[in-house]
Structure 1
Amino acid sequence: MAVHRFHNPATMPASRGYTHAVETMGPSRTIYFSGQLGMTADGKFAGAAGDFRAQAAQCFENLKAALTAVDAGFEHVTKVTCFFVDMAHLPLYFEVRDRYVDTKAPPASTAVQIVRLAREGALFEIEAIAVVPQR
């Protein structure tokens, strides 16, 4: 069974809602998830135009659906990369994210502000890597 160990060395700056290093061991499957936008199954953005919270929640719901498709859950996510069109949304991101991940052992994380995402109107995108025990 795969085991995840979360490391935040005292010799590194304190982390703010992420883990510096996530170590995985044991027989496992590594699954890479494409970037998820805050779009519903009908191809529309969640919430009203400009509603970051709704888009972020939909991103996590889309990621949850992808995890479920491979018999995994958020407890298996070891790394996320987040793309923001406005880094001022970071506190809202944590508010949404914390409903999905174990805040005592959050995944390793990178947050980047970019000028634009692949779809006009997109405010946020998240991609992930999960390590899941072998079936």
Structure 2
Amino acid sequence: MTELTRIPAPDGVAPATGYTHVVLGTGRFVAISGQLALDENGKLVGENDPAAQARQTFENLRRCLAAAGATFDDVIKLTYYVTDMAHIPAVRAARDACISPDRLPASTAVQVAGLVRPEFLMEIEAYAILPE
């Protein structure tokens, strides 16, 4: 596991709730493309169901991280693209099932007009740092 430093509340910045403002470390950088709620056969999981889509998306992130030799403990940044901010509680629940509350990465949530196909409710990308 990489030694990462988390700074949840830099001087003069309001404390973070549910994320960390700053995460830093040294090692090999890993970028995981935005993942969607597709199963291994490319079939949508959870049509019109943000919780099911979030769980599948985090499972896909887990598999991509594993392919790089990483785990969620190595993640330094998550970016959430959602078609409706009302989906964020489902995203947080799926995230919390994968990431310890004391190891929260930096994160950004953005509401978008649409994703690559209209049935997708979210897309999530990750950055990680691995030991050299």
TM-score, normalised on structure 1? 0.92
Q: Deviations over 1:83-119 (max 9, x none)?
A: 0000011112111110001212200000000010012
Distance (whole Å) between structure 1 residues aligned to residue 121 and residue 2 of structure 2: 34
The answer for the alignment partner of 1:82 in structure 2 is: 80
Name the amino acid aligned to 1:50.
Answer: N
Q: Which has the higher helix share?
A: 2
> Is the deviation greater in 5-14 or in 70-79?
5-14
C-alpha distance in 2 between matches for 1:91 and 1:31 = 26
Structure 1: gaps of 5 or more residues = none
Counterpart for residue 125 of structure 1: 123
SS of 2:103's partner is: coil
Structure 1 counterpart SS, 2:116: coil
Task: Give me the whole-angstrom Cα distance separating, in 1, the residues matched to 2:67 and 2:103.
Answer: 23
Q: Which amino acid is 1:75 matched to?
A: D
Question: Is it true that 1:116 corresponds to 2:117 in the alignment?
Answer: no
Query: 1:3-37: CA deviations, max 9, x gaps?
Result: 20000225211212000000113xx2101110000
Runs of 4+ in 1 over 4 A off after TM superposition: none
How many positions carry a matched residue from both structures? 131
Residues 28-76 of structure 1, C-alpha deviations (whole Å, 9 max, x = no match) = 21011100001111111112x2011111111100010011111110000
Q: Residues 1-135 of structure 1: matches in 2 within 5 Å?
A: 2-8=2-8, 9=10, 11-25=12-26, 28-47=27-46, 49-134=47-132
Bigger Cα displacement from structure 2, 5-14 vs 84-93: 5-14
Between 1:98-107 and 1:109-118, the stretch displaced more is: 98-107
The alignment partner of 2:12 has SS state of coil
When the two chains are superposed, the root-mean-square deviation of aligned CA atoms in Å is: 1.3
Q: Percent identity?
A: 41
TM-score of the two chains, using structure 2 as the length reference = 0.94
Q: In the aligned structure 2, how far is the partner of 1:122 from the partner of 1:66?
A: 19
Identify the range of structure 1 (97-106 vs 73-82) with the bigger mean alpha-carbon deviation.
97-106
Higher strand share: 1
